[in-house]
Amino acid sequence: MPSFTIEAADLETEGPVIDVTVGVSGAAQGALAQAGQQPSTPVSASLLVDTGASHSMVKNGLLATLQLHPVGTVGVNTPTSQGVPCGLYSVRIRLPHGQYVDTTVIQSPPSGFQGQNIDGVIGRDVLKWGILIYMGQRAQFTLKCSGSEVRRRIRQTDTLALDGQQAPGRCRDTALLVVPGGCLRGRGVDARF
């Protein structure tokens, strides 16, 4: 599973910030190619990893050079207002290790992220594809992303939970793949849960 680790000079104050590029989604790239057009060059952004945010959000104006049109609107609550209508955009977020996630991001209200050293947040819509490890004592964080599989090692004495039942691992030192959709696969193990 590809991963990257970032050391931050002041992780406690700044938080886990990742430099990414934000571009046109894969679906939009395909539509542009069929029309004989080139997609706009992705824009660079510094995004704070925010496990409290259900959705990724970018500051107002960041997406302007991509010439995107909103795919919808969503109401956003701010410290002073509730249900502020904000545009929802289909984009591709490319992470430092080269992997990308096609998702929808919310464009913040005009006052969003003012006075901050970030261009937005990476929310759980992107984090659901990976594992975030926050190492405060070392001023580091690691993000491992897969989108397809997570590797794990078990030993014969380990126990697997399958359909609510406990089942001993069948092979010694077996490498397993835990595939989204609830499958365990490995030498001697092939079960759905």
What are the tens digits of pLDDT across the range 90-134? 999 998 878 888 999 999 988 888 888 999 999 998 898 888 998
Quick one: DSSP state of residue 117?
S
Residue 138 has pLDDT above 50, yes or no: yes
- Domains identified in the chain and CATH numbers: 3-145 (2.40.70.10), 150-192 (no CATH)
List pLDDT tens digits, range 51-71.
999 999 999 999 998 988 899
Integer CA distances (angstroms), 11 to 6, 97, 138, in order: 10, 20, 9
Tokens of 111: 């006052």
Sign of the C-alpha dihedral computed for residues 79, 83, 87 and 89 taken in this order: positive
Question: Containing H/E element for 26?
Answer: helix 26-34
Which of 4-8, 66-70, 98-102, 149-153 is least confident? 149-153
